[in-house]
Chain A
Amino acid sequence: MIDSLCDRARGKDIAVAGLYCDFLTQQEQSVTSMLGAILKQLVSRGRIPEHIRQAFQEDRKGFGGRCLRISDLVEITKKAVAALQRVFICIDGLDESTPKHRRELLESLREIIRVSANTRLFLTGRPHVGDEIMKCFGKVVMIPIIPTQDNIRSYLEMRLANDTDPDIMDNELRVDILRVIPEKISEM
């Protein structure tokens, strides 16, 4: 998705930021680091905006290093987004973050898009996080992802072509795999 949006953004003043939630690094992915990761993609294209430099210098004067809070990042991001013509923020695998992080992240994003009609959010996750997203944003466009039989077949062909042990495959088995698996999956 990020690449499709980047293709469209080519040559235009459109910024695309992406983030992958990761179950394995749940703890490391604090909400401030997730919001910061989005923000730094939005501002790293050119010269870093002065208000961010100032916030950085102020933070350095403080005691004990980085003191960025969620609310600080939301405010900085709002300003950064307002300076851009269009912004797409993509977040993959929301179900992989903890419920607390997810709630805080979604609420922060809601604050950011509330003040900016030029910002769009693209979210992916398992169906069960849909309720939380609806609760947070009110109205949401939903697209259920169900792989088409053709897509499943192409994927299987790729996997068979990359099989590390091709000798144990015969044509009959191959034909069966390509027929039965797409049928079974689309019945699910």
Chain B
Amino acid sequence: MPSKHQQVTGNVNSFNNIINFNTEIDLEGREILLWLSPLEPQQRHQGVRTNRLDGIGNWVLETNEFRKWSGVEDGCVEPVLFCNGNPGVGKTYLR
């Protein structure tokens, strides 16, 4: 008889697959995730990650704007950061 709970290690439908977590997602849990959305953005993300060239676009992470936005203080910064550029400048490939 198949077990109701299946042990899932690692990436459970999340981009946070760098964190090695160990969690139990039961059958209903999986149905719920599918109910929330049929989209699987992490598939596209794998493609982006494979084609990305190391170091490109890292300057964005060094900008004051980015540092402030991603900093730990709550509520005192603008919560929305918009990186804009024409097609092909590498917006998708910022690391």
Contacts and interface: CB of A to CB of B under 8 A. Distances in A.
Q: Are these two chains actual partners, yes or no?
A: yes
Interface of A: 1-11, 15-20, 22, 28-29, 32-37, 39-41, 43-48, 52-53, 56, 59, 66, 68, 73, 86, 88, 92-93, 113, 117-127, 129-130, 133, 137, 139-148, 151, 154-155, 158
B32 A33 contact: no
Interface residues of B, number: 62
A37 B90 CA distance: 24
A137 B77 CA distance: 13
Given A143-B63, A147-B89, A130 B19 contact: no
B91 A145 contact: yes
B52 to A, nearest CB: 8
Given A40-B13, A126-B86, A140-B82, 14 more contacts: A4-B94, A6-B19, A9-B19, A16-B15, A36-B36, A41-B13, A45-B21, A47-B29, A56-B35, A120-B80, A123-B83, A127-B86, A142-B82, A147-B56
A10 B19 contact: yes
A8 B42 CA distance: 18
B39 interface: yes
Interface of B: 12-19, 21, 23-25, 28-29, 31-33, 35-42, 44-45, 48-49, 53, 55-57, 59-61, 63, 65-66, 68-70, 72, 74-75, 77-87, 89-92, 94-95
B15 A47 contact: no
Report which residue of B14, B21, B77 has the largest number of chain A beta carbons within 10 angstroms of its beta carbon: B14
B75 A117 contact: yes
Q: Is the interface of A mostly helix, strand, loop or mixed?
A: mixed
Contacts of A66: 35
A39 B82 CA distance: 21
